[in-house]
Chain A
């Protein structure tokens, strides 16, 4: 098989066209009410605010992390009505009346969530930046009830990247929580 060497495109760079059209008046923010970690919150936010930015910048819940901001790393994973999603690729206004659970909402008076305990027991992190997303994703995984084996956990946690490479311990922690 012959592989060509990487060559630059044989075409001129296109002039940067502004395809955004004429300037328009700035739309006004609107009120959005959702329940975050069991508490009703009403925020005044613009429609183009992602759920991730609403949580971090408006609700002051900075446990949810911004990694890539493009749905590729999973650091922003939260639960909406118990289902795990990437909060960076959804708009806050779309979640009017929804129940949002972030890493701050998992522990209760009885103590840490079993997955938080399992992550500590198995030392399932190094830098910790991906951990809130990993744990929220694992809670969603348990709610879904599809993962039975280590191979299932690896496949169904593939939306959460850990650049420290703590994967073996993360899988151990999730397996412990599933078995309990």
Chain B
């Protein structure tokens, strides 16, 4: 780790001031990803600003029925919170499918949104990586890419030497449920407060694969707000991985359905492990609305969701795996 100074402000204004006066400062929450990246010589902040004692804690119900998850609440506290367990069991289940108990006890809700990819080449400083070193190329294309993206990558980034190519995936489980639940990220910064819909929070690599999300410089996440609709009856998180616990997803599926008898009246399907952001396709979800909960209808939605998916060799199996996972998750959610 490189040397750095440390600050622990007690107000959001002071925290934002720290970033304003030092562009190479970074916020630290649980540190579970950032400290690791610093040890690996990927991140080199000159100052760490500890957000854990800012007044951004607590989980509270808002008057309009939304639930507000404070940015500094840990993942474990969130997953085991009674309101989350009863109103958003999909989120609770999804958080508990990720990492280990120790890491969930440290990791914060805000910090979870800023996890970096676990692409091997992003971590290997001797290899090209447009995300770590913009313009250097993408070693995953043509390399060992078993864990990499199959959606949201364009024909333009099929070339390993392209200065913008990137087939990294976004690693968070929690974010997949937040995408399905259509959470809203509340942020504040020099230009005041703003709300970011979850679908707009993370981004595809596009021409700037080094940018994981749409947060502006000097902004801070205050809370993650969940809309009232919690899909408490029909939901599931299916996570497929190389071992049954404590591993990142190869493919994961968060499903939330509303049902009238055997007819689906609302459907949300979010995928993890397949793209640079939690992946949703409203068109595929609409194929299920008004339809009976049958394996044939699930298959139509799955085929639509994966249409246009691109395999890069070692990860091509994910296209079929994702389709089967979607069908199975929908089946589990409707039972």
Contacts and interface: CB of A to CB of B under 8 A. Distances in A.
B321 to A, nearest CB: 10
Interface of A: 1-4, 6-14, 16-17, 19-21, 24, 26-27, 30, 46-48, 50, 69-71, 74, 77, 83-86, 88-91, 93-94, 96, 137, 140-141, 144, 146, 154-160
Contacts of A16: 125-126
B52 interface: yes
Given A14-B128, A71-B32, A27 B4 contact: yes
Contact of A93 (B6, B30, B133, B316): B6
A98 B252 CA distance: 37
B101 interface: yes
Contact of B1 (A48, A77, A96, A160): A48
Contacts of A160: 100
A9 B5 CA distance: 38
Interface residues of B, number: 55
B2 A90 contact: no
18 contacts: A3-B316, A4-B314, A10-B161, A11-B142, A12-B137, A13-B127, A16-B125, A47-B6, A70-B36, A70-B39, A77-B102, A86-B102, A89-B30, A89-B103, A91-B28, A93-B50, A159-B100, A159-B102
A9 B3 contact: no
B245 interface: yes
B105 interface: yes
Contacts of A7: 142-143
B35 A83 contact: no
B3 A26 contact: yes
B4 to A, nearest CB: 6
Given A8-B143, A16-B126, A89-B35, A155 B245 contact: yes
Given A14-B126, A19-B44, A48 B3 contact: yes
A173 to B, nearest CB: 17
B30 to A, nearest CB: 8
Given A48-B2, A85-B106, A157-B101, 13 more contacts: A1-B316, A2-B316, A6-B144, A8-B143, A9-B160, A10-B141, A24-B3, A48-B1, A48-B4, A77-B102, A84-B101, A89-B31, A93-B50
B197 to A, nearest CB: 31
B240 to A, nearest CB: 15
B16 to A, nearest CB: 20
Contacts of A137: 101-102
B326 to A, nearest CB: 18
A48 to B, nearest CB: 5
The listed residue with most B CB atoms (<10 A of its CB), out of A93, A94, A141, is A94
In the A-B complex, the 10 residue pairs with the smallest Cβ-Cβ separation, listed nearest first, are A159-B100, A158-B245, A47-B6, A4-B313, A10-B142, A9-B143, A9-B139, A158-B246, A14-B128, A11-B137
Interface string B125-163: 111110001001111111110000000000000001100
B127 to A, nearest CB: 7
B136 A85 contact: no
Given A16-B126, A71-B103, A46 B160 contact: no
A89 B106 contact: yes
Interface string B1-37: 1111110100000000000000010001011100110
Interface in B49-67: 50, 52
Contacts of B36: 70-71, 89
Q: Is chain B's binding surface mostly helix, strand, loop or mixed?
A: loop
A140 to B, nearest CB: 7
Residue from B8, B102, B136 with most neighbouring chain A CB atoms (10 Å): B102
Contacts of A89: 30-32, 35-36, 103, 106
B174 interface: no
A83 to B, nearest CB: 5
Contacts of A8: 143
Contact of B133 (A19, A20, A70): A19
Contacts of B201: none
Nearest to B46: A24
B6 A86 contact: no
Nearest to B74: A83
A40 B101 CA distance: 27
Nearest to A133: B102
Contacts of B316: 1-3
Nearest to B165: A11
B210 to A, nearest CB: 12
Contacts of B275: none
B133 A17 contact: yes
A31 to B, nearest CB: 12
Contact of B105 (A84, A96, A158): A84
Nearest to B6: A47
